[in-house]
Copies of this chain bind each other. A is one copy, B any other.
Amino acid sequence: MASSGTNPWEVLRPVADAPARTRGRALQEALREAIRAGRLAPGTRLPSSRDLAADLGVSRGLVTEAYEQLTAESYLRSGRGAGTWVGDAVRAAAPRARDRAPRTRDARADFVPGSPDLSLFPRAAWAAAQRAVLAELPHRDLGYPDPRGLPRLRTALAALLTRRRGVAADPERLVVVSGVAQALALLGGALHARGIREVGVEDPGSPPHAELYAAAGLDVVPLPLDGEGLALGPLRRARVRTVVTTPAHQFPTGIAYAPRRRAELLEWARAVDGFVLEDDYDGDFRYDRDPVGALQGLDPERVVYTGSVSKSLAPGLRLGWLLLPEALAEDVTERKRTADLGHPALDQALFARFVEQGDYDRHLRRCGRAYRERRDALVSSLADHFPGTEVSGIAAGLHVIATLPERYGPEGRFLERVARAGVAVRGLEEYQHARGDDDPGLAPSASSTRARVRSDVRPRLVLGYAHLTPGRIRTGVALMARAAGE
């Protein structure tokens, strides 16, 4: 076999340079790759093992073994004593799927809410917990987990949520999930199985959640808010039996549900024999008074409570929890089992230890101090650069609503200008659910936030601040002011 540029066996040449120990494997891989890539076409006859061995300077046994192995894998075919050919069983892969455009990260200032400050992630304490857990975890806990979660974590979480959030937390009713998205997906499936086909959602609210319900076969019915929470009239007229709410700090308006509305919402749920889902997405952060206890504590059989570490530690951990009424606990557990057999055990043990040792409380206190300072920087910057601005939803969470004076409006034009200046910021309107105005039961009432948003010429900005240092906040607000004044 002569060595020439057009010799198809040339592609096997590098095999000779592989260390003797791995040469056989290298030959097999080179042959597979050449066949898959089409460089060795189906029907091509291979050299005899003796010739190829001589050509590559390897032992003949190594070539024979490669031919046998690839014949077993259908890459090659062998006739009885009649040589070896490239088989026709192999098809090349189609070109790769188009890459998605990555989210732009080059804004000069980014007020889009949703992320905590990832640089505050407690790496040292987390590393210590990792080390301790790996040293102490019994072997059997590396096996298939309880689909509800490790008992140790459910116990620690129940104590944590009872203490911090005032929920009625029974470890037997807790399911450890990979975040609120999974909580909604599992719950959506369980509701669908009970014949529920629609869920009411807050409007404005968190539009991505609607996709999660759609995946479970549920339609969402956007429901307007008033100053105290979900407006009751539209809720009753909508004839839904389940609503999703953010009572501690409504997303995105930032209002806390009024005590009266909390009680009324539970009365409604009992009357329609339905459920209220309480998404306690940022209930851990409240600055100027104690946190308002969770709605769930008032009626654990009507409220499904869910939360996660996405705002308190990091979304990348994908760890959350779901606290269920008796009526849903078993079905949701089964759905968690068929979805993924349960959450990673080491992660669960790690977070259990993190909570047990008080590390989680320490981290929340540290973040709370930092975020309060950032909120104050944002509020004072807004007062300096946009005098007359009303800021609401400031008592809790990781974002505020800033209603600018009329001279900055309308909202669309304001947002265009600041976007051109490189500031990423969202208006409240972007969080409204798209729906027809002819929706019969749901015509926005004069008192609803929705109606006010629509008719208002004052721009309303949803400003996330937790992920920004006070310095970047001040720079960002100044940039916005400059852009708005041009």
A residues neighboring B (CB under 8 Å):
24-25, 28-29, 32, 36, 65, 69-75, 87, 89-97, 99, 105, 115, 118-119, 121, 123, 126-127, 130-131, 134-135, 139-145, 162-163, 166, 168, 170, 172-173, 177-179, 181-182, 185, 211-212, 215, 259, 262-263, 266, 289-290, 292-293, 297-302, 310, 314-319, 325-326, 329-330, 335, 338-347
Q: A72-B259, A126-B134 are in contact. List 7 more A-B contacts (CB 8 A).
A: A70-B293, A91-B301, A92-B300, A97-B173, A115-B144, A317-B344, A318-B341
Chain B residues near A259 (CB, 8 Å)? 71-74
> Looking across the interface, which residue of chain B has its beta carbon closest to that of A338?
B215
Contact A173 B96 (CB under 8 A): yes
Contact partner of A73 among B32, B293, B345, CB < 8 A? B293
State the main secondary structure of chain A at its contact with B: helix
Q: Is the CB of A212 within 8 A of B145?
A: no
Given contacts A90-B298, A142-B121, A314-B142, contact A182 B292 (CB under 8 A): no
CB pair A166 B32 closer than 8 Å: yes
| Pick from B97, B168, B212: contact of A326, CB under 8 Å | B97
Instruction: Give the contacting residue for A315; candidates B72, B143, B299, B338; CB below 8 A.
Output: B143
CA distance A312 to B142 in the complex (A): 12
Distance A94 CA – B302 CA, assembled complex (angstroms): 11
Copies in the complex: 2
Q: Please state if A96 and B290 are interface contacts (CB–CB under 8 Å).
A: no
Q: Which residues of B contact A212 (CB under 8 A)?
A: 338
Which among B28, B74, B178 is the interface contact of A290 at CB below 8 angstroms? B28
CA distance A205 to B74 in the complex (A): 24
Q: How far is the CA of A344 from the CA of B211 in the complex (A)?
A: 21
- What would be 24 A-B contacts, judged by CB atoms less than 8 Å apart? A25-B290, A32-B166, A32-B293, A69-B292, A71-B259, A75-B297, A87-B263, A89-B266, A93-B170, A93-B301, A94-B300, A96-B170, A119-B139, A126-B134, A127-B130, A127-B134, A130-B134, A143-B314, A143-B315, A185-B340, A317-B344, A318-B341, A344-B347, A346-B347
Given contacts A290-B25, A340-B318, A345-B316, is CB(A300)–CB(B93) below 8 Å?
yes
Known: A36-B168, A262-B89. A301 touches B94 (CB 8 A): yes
Q: Is the CB of B29 within 8 A of A163?
A: yes
CB-defined contacts of A131 to chain B, threshold 8 Å: 127, 130-131
Which residues from B are CB-within-8-Å of A28?
Answer: 290
How far, in angstroms, from A36 to B168 measured CA to CA in the complex? 8
A142-B315, A297-B36, A298-B89 given as contacts; is B172 within 8 A of A99 (CB)? yes
Chain B positions within 8 Å of A121 at CB level: 139, 142
Q: Once the chains bind, are A74 and B344 in contact (CB under 8 Å)? A: no
Q: How far is the CA of A75 from the CA of B294 in the complex (A)?
A: 11
